[in-house]
Amino acid sequence: MGSDRNYPLHFEPLGYDFVSPCLAEADLMQRILSPTDFANWLTDFLPHFLTEDAVNWLQPVQTNKPNDYLQSHFRGLNLSRAWMLEAIISQLPHNDSRLDTLRSVTVLHRQCGLLDVASDHYSSSHWLGTFVVSLVTARGLDRDRNPTWTGLNN
């Protein structure tokens, strides 16, 4: 993993993903690398992360059928992207040029993910709550590693 380079963003989402493989790997790496090493790794792993090529990928996936079982996965994808983006943000150096864009994208994913999350329909009600809890509790973020980070939840 540490030597992974040039992740192909255009592959996501593949089908009806509810977790981004790319961001899951970045979330793992931010947990094991120092902030400086993580920032350097992220540059190599996602060199096009904030370029024109990534614009479509950085947008939340929209759903138009809230009770559709497969589309409910996209709400989960937006939520999991938001919580993993928050983790990435938390470990980047405070002067990293990607921060403003990442924060904006994270807020959009959070808003889209939380939209219609409280549903009576089984397609999403049986599992999306766990993703919401992970997002709103900032689960797993180590504030001791980056104590000045206040998060997007505040």
Q: Identify the weakest region by mean pLDDT among 95-104, 105-114, 139-148.
A: 139-148
Q: What is the pLDDT of residue 147?
A: 47
Q: What pLDDT band is residue 81 in, cutting at 50, 70 and 90?
A: very high
Whether 73 shows a pLDDT value over 80: the answer reads yes
Smallest CA-to-CA distance from 98 within 54, 32, 142 is with: 54
The pLDDT of residue 40 is 96
Residue-wise pLDDT for 119-149, tens only, equals 676 666 777 777 778 888 876 666 555 544 5
Give the integer Cα–Cα distance in Å for 91 and 88: 6
pLDDT for 30:
93
Exposure b/e, 70-83, CB count within 10 A at least 16 = b: ebbbbbbbbbbbbb
pLDDT for residue 44 is more than 70: yes
Rounded mean pLDDT, 82-86: 92
Residues in the chain: 154
- Structural domain spans, the chain: 20-41+69-154
Average pLDDT of the chain is: 82
Considering 19-28, 51-60, 71-80, the range whose residues carry the highest mean pLDDT is 19-28
Its pTM stands at 0.84
In this predicted structure, what is the pLDDT of residue 72? 82
Per-residue burial over 122-134, b = 16 or more CB atoms within 10 Å of its CB, e = otherwise: ebbeeebeebbeb
Which of 54, 13, 45, 5 is CA-nearest to residue 26? 45
